[in-house]
């Protein structure tokens, strides 16, 4: 049985679709607005901005986060910037160009209408943030400064030093706190969401656990928004924060929300390599380093352990410059990441682990002087030094790719509603705008567009459309809450009970999962590898069910939280393998070794795969069902990306 | 409107009072030291003349004295409030907290303003009892200045400072004053917010100069008197 | 996973604070860790310790961390009597074991302040900061159409200065390090950022009054100008901001035209 996936794209030409939506949406009159309550889970850019904006409209908003404070969400760690088609530098940018770049960057696997709306909203985001007092970088003229990013041909990136994510999040957080003060938003910190409660086919609440007290709580509302971020932590090692997890959207998936394109993952080429088995987190280094650094590995395996300064130029393989002469060291993220993996797989990786390549500034320092390089990259060099205790002015840096963003997520229609009515997903938690690959400085843009400028309209439209039904309030004593709570309790009790007998810690199983997913559903995926991954994950799932070692109680216990998350990540890992297996083409971050051009480049298959894969959960251990949403391109022509 | 009572009972308000009273007291100390420089004249005449002129102010002097006493009282009360709030704000202390250096002005002196203050308070009581409410003209402490009989305050001073124990007490107390001012002077500016990045360092440096000047300015007086007068007795 | 033969290792003793719950009596628990790689981060060392504790069947040690890049402000440990440990301008997650010597005994305590009650072990509840923020740490701008972002020019030095203050990560090291457990640096950073920018002018007075009131209600101590907060701040935020807070508060409190409804939740305009 196939589910009808209707993206609900409004009529009219591309540039008028959003206006058309707004002109025809259902409204809720001001007096009625206070009768509705909306739950927003997550307080990152998407969650905080959505909660604040919905509260300003007059709805009663309940905002949940797993941290002590809304300000700790992982959006805070974004460094580079936020794109907007303001065209201040007068360099030919426009809404259309931002739209086009995003569609193309996503390797033609995103929905045109959503991406166009994103580009349209981008300019309002900057105005909004400035009005909040976000201290964007400025020119001496007092005007906002822009820089270029990720190979874009225009300068459309706004930034606040290297802390753009922090400043944007604090802006959204401050607006949220304003509404908390007014009593329009109630904050529920220290909560992890463990289930969505469906009543008569509509999302009417959630079950949460207070991580400090262990209490399981019920919260009812008229609509639920999930803005809980991506699932990069399935790799165990990633640039995501320790608390980033898939649990909220996975529990929604288990309740029936379809999961879109789980195999689309972005791997960033310039991270500090893994230095030991004890590590739990990787650190990203700005991509800008590749403007001056040259990437190389030794030509001969036996040179790999040598002091790099003793290896003469003729024995070095500047492989990016060799393979992609026109882009060289500035090849796009996915290409550069894959090339690094290839040379390491050949046994030419460097460092103690053999899983690193050199990023060498020797020539740049010789050309421009150390002072110039320090001026450009001083803080990054310091950061590298601090972590590795090596001086990158003297010896080349060692870098390796790492996971840092997931394009997949809950399938949503144009209104950001999942396949569960009344359940919305925003930001990285949904699959919507980036296709198979995300451009730099676009994640912040999407999170804020969803929260400030999309959900306030679409949630209102939902409430207005279903007013008759929703005005009959559902109480937390409803049977649906009983059963959802019981399931959640049972699962936690089972973990704690089983945990007394097992031998393998959460971290051990988690690390093994990460290793499988990284090696087999990472930068290069093969049919055989993906099948192996499925088998290995199944084994790990068994380990988790029968041999988990869990100590402590059900009050504040990070290890228990991690166990619950791992349980979901194990299922997600299997789904990623299936999705990657079924998508027998290469596109964006998804590279199938069977689908490449003779010279080793990604080969898309538009005829068979120009669609979104949306997966339906069929129960634990059951094979999920794959559904499709065909992607229709009426405004752009599908073409091949080449970087030779 | 913020009622003034609330303004001054806030943690910031207390610091305004602390800083303002501290500044007034520094000003007083400067004037006091200038007056006391008359003691270096060698004979009592300069000092006694100065004292007589002060007393000639009559009610104005009383008003100044009362004002001074209230300022000191305010400084003390606020100090205890600040200290109490600090203790209340951290009911369980660290086992062994250490300063992180760098820009920190946390020193034994700056962390113990309340104790240097307590010492100065004790000193103040003794000092006032000894000189302000010490032997009077009725007790025979008279001297003639330009033919007029005045209170021989100079003799009171000399009698005290020819005794080693008083010299030691005053010198020690003035060292505490130095430590108190070293942090207090700059701190007053910071507390009142009348400081900016350009002036912060100079003011902090000036705090050192003021501390040294006032502490040593005062403490040399007993030493000087002891050195010059104790041999010759107090005839 | 891989050989680490080249890396140096050290043996350390740990004294970690254990406290079952907010009102329970806490105590120091001793542990020994052998062969700690000096290239490990401090938190990774604690991860290793926790694996050891879990394998011995005991309740794991609770400590917070999230981004492990020094920006989220979640990690919060008093290491050897210093907030975030001995390195200036760094958070606990940016501290590496190479800062310690072989055989060293390392004492780890939670942030200690009445306003930051212990939740468990090394985890404290820092929501007092949220409540200060709630009292006025915003411009009041609503979602919706605004003037073009370049409509109001802001001199670069002012924007940079606002950014310096805005860099605060809300970790609470200022409170933890302050001998008086004062939250002046945190509060002043937000007040200063918004006082400097044109967008923060409309509710400038109400903001500072309410934020200071809330700061006091939470039970933080007075500022004694020791500048220890600045020394401990991972973002090196200057106490110049506290001086500005003092100016702002005094001006706002004395201003005769200040009529915003301070007590009411939605006072002001």
CATH of residue C166's domain is 1.10.1060.10
Q: Domain of A574: which CATH number?
A: 1.20.58.100
Both A396 and A510 in one domain: the answer is no
pLDDT of residue B233: 45
The CB density around residue A462, as the number of other CB atoms within 10 Å, is 28
CATH for B4-89+108-229?
1.20.1300
CB atoms within 10 A of CB B104: 18
Task: Decide if A288 contacts A277 (C-beta within 8 A).
Answer: no
Q: Which of A71, A72, A233, A333 is catalytic?
A: A333
Q: How confident is the model at residue A76 (pLDDT cuts 50, 70, 90)?
A: very high
Torsion sign (Cα): A209, A211, A215, A217: negative
Q: C177 and B82 in contact by Cβ < 8 A? A: no
What rounded mean pLDDT belongs to chain A?
A: 95
- Residue C259: inside a domain: no
pLDDT tens string A597-610: 988 888 999 999 99
Cα A430 from Cα A447, distance rounded (Å): 10
Query: What pLDDT, on the 0 to 100 scale, is given for residue C7?
Result: 62
Residue B1 has pLDDT above 60, yes or no: no
Does residue C4 belong to any structural domain of this protein? no
CB pairs under 8 A between B and C: 164
- The β-bridge partners of A220 are A205
pLDDT recorded at residue C265: 39
Tokens of C189: 């950073």
Into how many domains does chain C fold?
A: 2
Residue A629 domain-assigned (yes or no) = no
CA angle C89-C92-C98, nearest 5°? Answer: 90
Predicted pLDDT at A151: 58
Q: Which of the residue ranges A18-27, A344-353, C115-124 would you say has the lowest mean pLDDT?
A: A344-353
Q: Indicate if the pLDDT at residue A178 is higher than 60.
A: yes
Does residue C166 share a domain with residue C51? no
Q: What is the pLDDT of residue C2?
A: 39
Mean model confidence pLDDT for chain C: 93
**A585 is a domain residue:** yes
Residues C131 and C115 in one domain: no
Q: Is residue A535 part of a domain?
A: yes
Whether residues C37 and C98 share a domain: the answer is yes
Q: pLDDT tier at B130 (50, 70, 90 boundaries)?
A: very high
Separation CA A284–CA C126 (nearest Å):
28
Q: How far apart are CA A509 and CA A518, in angstroms?
A: 14
* Residue-wise burial string across A402-434, b where 16 or more C-beta atoms lie within 10 A, e elsewhere: bbbbbbbbbbbbbbbbbbbbbbbbbbbbbbbbb
Domain shared by A277 and A395, yes or no: yes
Percent of chain A with pLDDT over 90: 87
- What tens digit of pLDDT does each residue of B17-61 get? 999 999 999 999 999 999 999 998 878 899 999 999 999 999 999
pLDDT tens per residue across span A518-577: 999 999 999 999 999 999 999 999 999 999 999 999 999 999 999 999 999 999 999 999
Is the confidence at residue C4, as pLDDT, over 60? no
Instruction: Convert A54-78 to b/e letters by CB count within 10 Å (16 or more is b).
Output: bbbbbbbbbbbbbbbbbbbbbbbbb
Please give the residue range of the domain that contains residue A372.
270-401
Q: What is the mean pLDDT of residues A492-499?
A: 95
- Please say if the pLDDT value at position C268 is more than 50: no
Q: Is residue A10 very low, low, confident or very high in pLDDT (cuts 50, 70, 90)?
A: very high
- Indicate whether C17 belongs to any domain: yes
Which pLDDT band holds residue A2 (cuts at 50, 70, 90)? low
Please give the angle made by the CA atoms of B211, B214 and B215, to the nearest 5 degrees: 75
Asked if the model's pLDDT at residue C262 lies above 80, the reply is no
Number of domains in chain A: 2
Backbone angles phi, psi at A65, to 5 degrees: -145, 160
pLDDT at residue A45 is higher than 80: yes
Last residue of a domain, one of C85, C120, C155: C120
> At which of A369, A401, A433 does a domain end?
A401
C116 lies in the same domain as C151: no
Instruction: Find chain B residues with C-beta within 8 A of C108's C-beta.
Output: none
Domain assignment present for C28: yes
Buried/exposed B155-181: b ≥16 CB within 10 Å, e otherwise: bbbbbbbbeeebbebbbebbebbbbbb
Task: Indicate whether A474 belongs to any domain.
Answer: no
Q: Which of C22, C33, C72 to mutate to test the interface with A (most CBs of A within 10 A)?
A: C72
pLDDT the model gives residue A193: 98
Q: Is residue A27 part of a domain?
A: no
Residue C59: list chain A partners with CB under 8 A: 551-553, 557
Q: A74 has which bridge partners?
A: none
| A452/C143 Cβ within 8 A | yes
CA distance A102 to chain C (A): 23
Contact of chains A and C by CB distance (3 or more pairs under 8 angstroms):
yes
> Are C15 and C115 contained in the same domain?
yes
A156 is catalytic: no
Note the pTM of the prediction, 2 decimals. 0.95
SS3 category, A108 = coil
Which has the higher per-residue pLDDT, A372 or B74?
A: B74
C-beta of residue A267 within 8 angstroms of C-beta of residue A606: no
What average pLDDT does this structure show over A131-158? 89
Cross-chain Cβ contact A138/C73 below 8 Å: no
Q: What is the pLDDT of residues C138-191, one digit of tens each?
A: 999 999 999 999 999 999 999 999 999 999 999 999 999 999 999 999 999 999
Q: Residue A452 and residue A50: Cα distance in Å, rounded?
A: 6
Task: Name the pLDDT band for A150 (thresholds 50, 70, 90).
Answer: low
Q: Where are the alpha helices (DSSP H) in chain C?
A: 42-55, 127-134, 156-166, 173-177, 184-196, 204-217, 228-232, 240-254
Q: Do A127 and C162 touch (CB under 8 A)?
A: no
% chain B with pLDDT above 90: 86
Q: In this model, does residue C259 exceed pLDDT 90? A: no
A555 found inside a domain: yes
- Tell me the C-alpha distance between A279 and A353, whole Å: 13
C19 touches chain A (CB under 8 A): no
**Binary contact (C143, A49; C-beta < 8 A):** yes
Q: Is the pLDDT of residue B231 over 70?
A: no
Same domain, C115 and C135: no
Residue A509 shares a structural domain with residue A395: no
pLDDT exceeds cutoff 50 at C3: no
Tell me C144's DSSP state: S
One domain, residues C115 and C132: no
Closest residue of chain C to A183, computed from CA coordinates: C265
With respect to residue A515, please indicate whether it lies within any of the assigned structural domains. Answer: yes
CB atoms within 10 A of CB B23: 18
Q: Look at residue C116 and tell me if it is in a domain.
A: yes
- Verify that C208 and C88 share a domain, yes or no: no
Q: Partners of A613 in the beta sheet?
A: A628
Range(s) of the domain holding residue C248:
126-140+147-254
- Nearest CB to C82 within list B14, B86, B100: B100
Residue B4: pLDDT band (50, 70, 90) is: confident
**Band of residue C1 on the pLDDT scale cut at 50, 70, 90:** very low
Contact A69 C156 (CB under 8 A): no
Q: Which of A40, A56, A68 is the best substitution to test chain C (most C C-beta atoms within 10 A)?
A: A68
> Is there a contact between C231 and B197 if contact means CB atoms under 8 Å apart?
no
Residue C171's pLDDT is what?
98
Q: Is A379 among the domain residues?
A: yes
Q: What is the mean pLDDT of residues A298-302?
A: 95
Mean pLDDT within A217-230:
98
Two tokens, residue A517: 């997913």
Task: State the smallest CA–CA distance between residue B63 and chain C in angstroms.
Answer: 27
Are A194 and A488 within 8 A, CB to CB? yes
- pLDDT score recorded for residue C5: 40
Instruction: Summarize the confidence of residues C187-214 as an average pLDDT.
Output: 97
The pLDDT of residue A208 is: 98
pLDDT one-digit tens code per residue, C222-252: 999 999 999 999 999 999 999 999 999 999 9
Mean pLDDT on C96-112: 97
Chains in contact with A, where contact means 3 or more Cβ–Cβ distances below 8 Å, are C
């Amino acid at each position: 049985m196939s589910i009808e996936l209707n993206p609900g794209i409004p009529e009219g030409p591309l540039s008028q679709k959003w206006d058309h939506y707004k002109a025809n949406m259902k409204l809720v009159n001001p007096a009625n607005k206070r009768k509705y309550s909306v739950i927003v889970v997550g307080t990152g850019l998407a969650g905080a901005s959505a909660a604040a904006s919905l509260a300003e409209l007059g709805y009663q908003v309940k905002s949940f986060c797993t941290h002590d404070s809304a300000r700790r969400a992982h959006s805070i760690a974004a460094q580079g910037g936020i794109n907007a088609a303001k065209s201040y530098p007068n360099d030919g940018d426009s809404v259309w160009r931002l739209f086009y770049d995003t569609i193309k960057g996503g390797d033609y696997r995103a929905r045109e209408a959503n991406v166009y709306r994103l580009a349209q909203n981008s300019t309002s985001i900057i105005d909004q943030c400035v009005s909040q007092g976000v201290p964007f970088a400025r020119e001496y003229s007092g005007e906002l400064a822009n820089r270029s990013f990720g190979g874009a041909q225009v300068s459309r990136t706004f930034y606040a030093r290297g802390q753009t994510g922090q400043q944007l999040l604090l802006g959204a957080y401050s607006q949220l706190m304003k509404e908390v003060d007014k009593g329009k938003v109630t904050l529920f910190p220290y909560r992890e969401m463990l289930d969505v409660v469906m009543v008569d086919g509509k999302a009417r609440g959630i079950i949460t656990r207070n991580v400090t007290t262990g209490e399981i709580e019920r919260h009812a509302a008229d609509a639920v928004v999930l803005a809980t971020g991506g699932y990069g932590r399935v790799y165990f090692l990633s640039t995501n924060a320790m608390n980033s997890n898939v649990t909220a959207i996975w529990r929604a998936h288990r309740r029936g929300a379809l999961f879109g394109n789980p195999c689309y993952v972005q791997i960033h080429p310039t991270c500090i390599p893994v230095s030991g088995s004890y590590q739990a987190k990787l650190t990203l280094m700005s991509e800008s380093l590749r403007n001056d650094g040259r990437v190389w590995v030794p030509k001969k395996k036996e040179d790999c352990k040598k002091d790099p300064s003793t290896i003469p130029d003729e024995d070095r393989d500047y492989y990016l410059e060799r393979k992609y002469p026109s882009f060289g060291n500035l090849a796009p993220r996915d290409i550069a990441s894959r090339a690094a993996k290839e040379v390491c797989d050949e046994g030419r990786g460097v460092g103690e682990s053999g899983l690193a390549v050199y990023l060498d500034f020797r020539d740049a320092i010789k050309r421009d002087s150390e002072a110039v390089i320090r001026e450009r990259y001083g803080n990054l060099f310091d950061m590298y030094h601090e972590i590795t205790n090596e001086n990158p002015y003297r010896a080349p840096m060692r870098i390796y790719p790492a996971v840092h963003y997931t394009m997949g997520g809950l399938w949503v229609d144009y209104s950001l509603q999942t396949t569960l009515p009344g359940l919305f997903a925003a930001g990285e938690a949904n699959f919507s705008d980036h296709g198979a690959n995300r451009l730099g400085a676009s994640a912040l843009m999407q999170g804020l567009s969803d929260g400030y400028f999309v959900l306030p309209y679409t949630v209102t439209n939902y409430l207005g459309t279903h007013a008759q039904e929703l005005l009959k309030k559902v109480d937390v004593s409803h049977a649906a809450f009983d059963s959802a709570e019981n399931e959640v309790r049972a699962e936690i009790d089972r973990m704690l009970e089983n945990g007394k007998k097992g031998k393998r810690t959460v971290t051990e199983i988690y690390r093994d999962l990460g290793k499988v997913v990284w090696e087999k559903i990472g930068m290069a995926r093969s049919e055989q590898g993906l099948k192996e991954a499925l088998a290995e994950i199944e084994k790990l799932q068994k380990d988790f069910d029968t041999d988990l070692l869990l100590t402590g109680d059900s009050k504040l216990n990070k290890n228990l939280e991690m166990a619950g998350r791992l349980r979901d990540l194990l299922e997600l890992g299997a789904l990623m393998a299936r999705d990657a297996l079924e998508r027998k083409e290469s596109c964006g971050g998804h590279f199938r070794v069977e689908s490449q051009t003779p010279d080793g480049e990604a080969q898309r298959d538009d005829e068979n795969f120009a669609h979104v894969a949306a997966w339906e959960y069929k129960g634990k251990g059951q094979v999920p069902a794959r559904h499709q949403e065909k992607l229709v391109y009426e405004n752009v022509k599908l073409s091949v990306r080449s970087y030779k | 409107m913020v009622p003034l009572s609330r303004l001054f009972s806030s943690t910031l308000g207390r610091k305004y009072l602390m800083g303002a009273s501290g500044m007034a007291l520094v000003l007083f100390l400067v004037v006091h030291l200038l007056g006391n420089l008359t003691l270096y004249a060698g004979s009592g005449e300069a000092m006694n003349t100065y004292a007589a002129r002060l007393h000639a102010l009559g009610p104005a002097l009383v008003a100044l004295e009362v004002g001074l006493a209230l300022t000191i009282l305010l400084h003390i009360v606020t100090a205890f409030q600040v200290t109490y709030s600090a203790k209340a704000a951290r009911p369980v202390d660290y086992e062994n907290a250490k300063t992180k250096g760098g820009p920190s002005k946390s020193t034994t002196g700056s962390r113990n303003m309340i104790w240097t203050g307590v010492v100065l308070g004790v000193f103040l009581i003794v000092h006032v009892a000894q000189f302000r409410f010490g032997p009077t003209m009725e007790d025979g402490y008279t001297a003639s200045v330009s033919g007029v009989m005045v209170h021989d305050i100079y003799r009171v001073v000399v009698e005290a400072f020819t005794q080693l124990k008083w010299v030691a007490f005053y010198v020690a107390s003035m060292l505490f004053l130095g430590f108190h001012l070293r942090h207090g002077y700059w701190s007053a500016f910071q507390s009142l917010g009348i400081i900016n990045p350009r002036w912060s360092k100079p003011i902090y440096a000036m705090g050192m100069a003021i501390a040294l000047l006032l502490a040593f300015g005062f403490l040399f007086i007993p030493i000087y008197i002891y050195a010059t007068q104790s041999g010759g007795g107090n005839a | 996973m891989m050989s680490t033969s080249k890396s140096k290792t050290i043996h350390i003793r740990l004294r970690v604070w254990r406290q079952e719950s907010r009102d329970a009596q806490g105590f120091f628990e001793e542990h020994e860790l052998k062969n700690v790689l000096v290239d490990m981060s401090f938190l990774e060392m604690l991860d290793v310790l926790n694996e050891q504790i879990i394998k011995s069947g005991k309740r794991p040690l609770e400590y917070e961390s999230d981004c492990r890049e020094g920006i989220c402000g979640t990690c919060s440990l008093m290491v050897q009597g210093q907030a975030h440990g001995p390195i200036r301008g760094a958070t606990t997650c940016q501290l590496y074991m190479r800062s310690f010597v072989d055989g060293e005994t390392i004492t780890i305590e939670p942030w200690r302040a009445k306003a930051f009650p212990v939740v468990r072990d090394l985890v404290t509840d820092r929501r007092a900061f949220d409540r200060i923020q709630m009292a006025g740490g915003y411009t009041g701008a609503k979602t919706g159409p605004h003037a073009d972002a370049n409509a109001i020019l802001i001199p670069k030095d002012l924007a940079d200065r606002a950014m310096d203050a805005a860099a605060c990560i809300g970790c609470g090291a200022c409170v933890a390090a302050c001998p008086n457990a004062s939250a002046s640096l945190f509060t002043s950073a937000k007040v200063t950022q918004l006082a400097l920018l044109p967008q923060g002018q409309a509710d400038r007075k109400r903001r500072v009054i309410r934020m200071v009131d809330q700061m006091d209600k939470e039970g933080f101590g007075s500022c004694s100008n020791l500048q220890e907060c600045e020394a401990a701040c991972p973002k090196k935020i200057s106490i110049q901001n506290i001086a500005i807070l003092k100016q702002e508060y005094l001006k706002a409190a004395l201003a005769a035209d200040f009529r915003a409804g301070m007590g009411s939740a939605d006072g002001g305009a």
